[in-house]
């Protein structure tokens, strides 16, 4: 199985979509946790301005005021200044030179948590170049007080020696051991709950998508089963459901075609039976009438009248025989059982032979029949008997429906593309425009032929069209009412044989 085929299966598409949605939900959960849970507290504009622009200068100023004060005065100074910065979550603490806490702006919270700070660390942090944003004196404890100090100022005496230190810090974050132990469990529980909810939501979306497609296919099948043969499924995807939808559409189209064919065949069979019954009934009725007349009055008839009646009976029998032959031949052509014996022959000789057989009926109507075939016309490769029948049918139609003293002309021309075009033209009354699309249908007779009652079965042109179709061509007609008709078809010429020298080579 190729990779492209594997990726288009419904299993892979559902799996990929499920994993993709889970990754999306997990990513959104991570971003939410990073922005809302683990992010530091947001500061407003006044707080940011104080920390960035005022805090260091104010602490330096407080350190200058604390010079020479005792511990109680330091505590009072720290509390008064602490009230002003309480809104910024900041505190200040005074340490002596040994690092012991002396006073704080919030003694209940900070002095209880902070006892001492290493004196060397305070000395280093009081230096102007101490990097508060980069150095964490106690990296093992995120909540260590020394990590929260953002500025240290030295309190000096008159000689400039540091007697104490003033540190500014953020308020401590108070966690109990139980809280610290419980937070990871809460986070994992939240993650599991989010995963379960995400799985449920993703599964619901996928099942909704799948059931909607399956319901669409099921509805189409139900409509088709109810008789709507034009119902089809929208199947644009390449997965199994899409392939199933396309297979259903193909099956529905084939069944619709088969049903239409069966309906057309049933209609054709009814028309065929009606037409055959009509065409057989006419000569049979004539036969019955003349035979009954001969039985009842035969003894009283003179010899000439008797022979005339027998001639009419013979003509009707011949007409029935030709009708049966035409029906059998058309049936073989329709079923594909007709066999064409292709061979090479000169078209001019074949046309002359056909014209000779049509001379008698043409002379009876004073119609001239002729052939216009060039001497250099190439040999034809076709079934001569079948082509002769087509030409005879077309010439006889021209004679039958032509005017007295008219002309029927057979014309052949080399097209130069490996085919010869044969045309049979008459100067009769022509074919009505509304009849031309139907003249090659079996049993079809136009208004002209109805006036020639009993002379046409409507099968000659249908047989001729089938024969020409079997030769890979098409029988066409050109006609204007009152200006005759011209039937055309093409036949392949004999393939040129190589010269002797070329053959030896």
pLDDT at 135 over 70: yes
pLDDT at 154 over 90: yes
Mean pLDDT of 28-34: 69
DSSP string, 285-300: HHHHHHHHHHHHHGGG
Instruction: Give percent of the chain with pLDDT exceeding 70.
Output: 73
As given in the structure block, the two tokens for residue 13 are: 């598409």
pLDDT at 505 over 90: no
Fold observed for domain 45-174: Beta-Lactamase (3.30.450)
pLDDT at 37: 55
- Contacts of residue 75, defined as CB under 8 A and 6 or more positions apart, other chains included, come to 102, 103, 104, 107
What is the b/e burial string over 260-298, where b = at least 16 CB atoms within 10 angstroms of the residue's CB? eeeeeeeeeeeebeebeeebbebbeebbeebeeebeeee
pLDDT at 435 over 70: yes
- Looking at the chain, the domain(s) classified CATH 3.30.565.10 span 341-492
- Contacts of residue 481, defined as CB under 8 A and 6 or more positions apart, other chains included, come to 429, 430, 431, 432, 433
Report the distance separating Cα 342 and Cα 379, nearest Å: 12
pLDDT at 501 over 70: no
Compute the Cα dihedral for 379, 384, 388, 390 and give only its sign: negative
C-alpha distances out from residue 3 to 86, 160, 242, Å = 66, 81, 18
Mean pLDDT of 281-286: 72
Q: Which residues pair with 100 in a beta bridge?
A: 116
DSSP string, 111-176: HHH--B--HHHHHHHHSTT--TTT--S-TT-TT-HHHHEEEEEEEE-TTS-EEEEEEEEEPP----
Question: For 271-285, 404-418, 421-435, which range has the lowest pLDDT when averaged over its residues?
Answer: 271-285
As given in the structure block, the two tokens for residue 56 are: 């260091």
User: Residue written as tokens 């598409």?
Assistant: 13
* Between 246 and 351, residue with greater pLDDT: 351
- Contacts of residue 316, defined as CB under 8 A and 6 or more positions apart, other chains included, come to 283, 284, 286, 287, 290
Architecture per CATH, 240-333: Orthogonal Bundle (1.10)
C-alpha distances out from residue 174 to 94, 177, 180, Å = 21, 10, 10
pLDDT at 454: 44
* Residues in the chain, overall count: 505
CA dihedral 34, 35, 40, 41 (to 10 degrees): -150
pLDDT at 94: 92
Mean pLDDT over each residue of the chain, to the nearest integer = 77
As given in the structure block, the two tokens for residue 193 are: 């709950």
Residue 421: which pLDDT band, with cuts at 50, 70 and 90? Answer: very high
Q: How far is CA 191 from the centre of its chain?
A: 42
* Between 97 and 206, residue with greater pLDDT: 97
Contact 145, 163 (CB under 8 A): no
Residue 125: which pLDDT band, with cuts at 50, 70 and 90? Answer: very high
Q: Which residues pair with 116 in a beta bridge?
A: 100
C-alpha distances out from residue 228 to 221, 225, 257, Å = 9, 7, 14
**Tell me: the pLDDT tens digits for 453-500?**
445 556 778 888 888 888 888 888 888 888 888 999 999 998 765 444
Mean pLDDT of 200-204: 73
Mean pLDDT of 436-456: 58
Report the distance separating Cα 328 and Cα 501, nearest Å: 49
Biggest alpha carbon distance in the chain?
177
Give the strands of the sheet with 162-170, arranged side by side: 101-104, 90-96, 162-170, 149-156
Report the distance separating Cα 118 and Cα 327, nearest Å: 124
Report the distance separating Cα 289 and Cα 104, nearest Å: 143
- Contacts of residue 137, defined as CB under 8 A and 6 or more positions apart, other chains included, come to 121, 144, 146, 147
DSSP string, 230-241: T------S-SHH
C-alpha distances out from residue 188 to 164, 184, 191, Å = 47, 6, 5
**Tell me: the pLDDT tens digits for 87-111?**
888 889 999 999 998 888 887 666 6
- Contacts of residue 341, defined as CB under 8 A and 6 or more positions apart, other chains included, come to 383, 385
Report the distance separating Cα 132 and Cα 55, nearest Å: 13
* Between 355 and 505, residue with greater pLDDT: 355
pTM for the predicted model, two decimal places: 0.43
3-state secondary structure of 351: helix
CA dihedral 336, 341, 346, 347 (to 10 degrees): -20
Instruction: Give percent of the chain with pLDDT exceeding 90.
Output: 10
pLDDT at 295 over 60: yes
pLDDT at 289: 81
pLDDT at 61: 92
Q: Which residues pair with 343 in a beta bridge?
A: 382
Architecture per CATH, 341-492: 2-Layer Sandwich (3.30)
**Tell me: the pLDDT tens digits for 311-330?**
888 877 876 776 676 666 66
Q: Which of 9-18, 34-43, 232-241, 493-502 has the highest mean pLDDT?
A: 232-241
- Looking at the chain, the domain(s) classified CATH 1.10.287.130 span 240-333
Residue 252: which pLDDT band, with cuts at 50, 70 and 90? Answer: confident
């Amino acid at each position: 199985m190729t990779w492209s085929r594997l990726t288009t299966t419904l299993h892979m598409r559902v799996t990929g979509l499920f994993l993709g949605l889970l990754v999306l939900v997990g990513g959104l959960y991570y971003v939410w946790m990073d922005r809302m849970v683990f992010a530091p507290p947001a500061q407003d504009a006044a707080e940011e301005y104080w920390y960035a622009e005022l805090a260091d200068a104010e602490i330096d100023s407080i350190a200058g005021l604390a010079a020479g004060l005792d511990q109680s005065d330091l505590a009072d100074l720290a509390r008064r200044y602490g009230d002003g910065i309480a809104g910024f979550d900041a505190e200040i603490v005074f340490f002596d030179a040994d690092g012991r806490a002396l006073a704080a702006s919030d003694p209940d919270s900070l002095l209880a948590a902070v006892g001492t700070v290493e004196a060397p660390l305070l000395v280093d942090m009081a230096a102007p170049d101490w990097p508060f944003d980069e150095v964490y004196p106690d990296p093992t404890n995120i909540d260590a007080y020394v990590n929260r100090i953002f500025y240290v100022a030295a309190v000096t005496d008159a000689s400039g020696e540091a007697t104490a230190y003033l540190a500014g810090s953020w308020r401590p974050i108070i966690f109990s051991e139980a809280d610290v132990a419980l937070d990871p469990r809460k986070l994992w529980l939240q993650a599991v709950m989010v995963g379960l909810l995400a799985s449920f939501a993703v599964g619901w979306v996928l099942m909704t998508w799948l059931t909607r497609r399956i319901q669409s296919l099921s509805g189409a099948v139900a409509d088709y089963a109810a008789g709507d043969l034009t119902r089809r499924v929208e199947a644009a995807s390449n997965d199994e459901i899409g392939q199933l939808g396309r297979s259903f559409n193909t099956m529905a189209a084939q069944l619709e075609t088969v049903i239409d064919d069966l309906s057309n065949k049933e209609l054709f069979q009814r028309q065929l039976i009606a037409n055959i019954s009509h065409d057989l009934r006419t000569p049979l009725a004539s036969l019955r009438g003349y035979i009954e007349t001969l039985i009842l009055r035969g003894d009283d008839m003179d010899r000439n009248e008797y022979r005339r009646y027998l001639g009419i009976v013979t003509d009707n029998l011949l007409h029935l025989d030709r009708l049966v032959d035409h029906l059998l031949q058309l049936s073989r052509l329709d079923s594909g059982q007709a066999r064409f014996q292709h061979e090479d022959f000169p078209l001019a000789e074949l046309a002359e032979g056909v014209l000779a057989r049509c001379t008698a009926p043409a002379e009876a109507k004073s119609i001239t029949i002729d052939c216009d075939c060039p001497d250099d016309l190439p040999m034809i490769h076709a079934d001569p008997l079948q082509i002769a029948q087509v030409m005879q049918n077309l010439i006889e139609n021209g004679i039958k429906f032509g005017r007295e003293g008219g002309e029927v002309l057979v014309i052949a021309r080399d097209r130069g593309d490996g085919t010869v075009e044969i045309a049979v033209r008459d100067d009769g009354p022509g074919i009505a425009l509304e009849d031309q699309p139907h003249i090659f249908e079996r049993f079809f007779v136009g208004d002209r032929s109805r006036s020639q009652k009993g002379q046409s079965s409507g099968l000659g042109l249908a047989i001729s069209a089938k024969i020409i179709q079997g030769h890979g061509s098409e029988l066409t007609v050109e006609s204007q009412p009152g200006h005759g008709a011209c039937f055309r078809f093409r036949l392949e010429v004999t393939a040129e044989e190589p010269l002797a020298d070329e053959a030896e080579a």
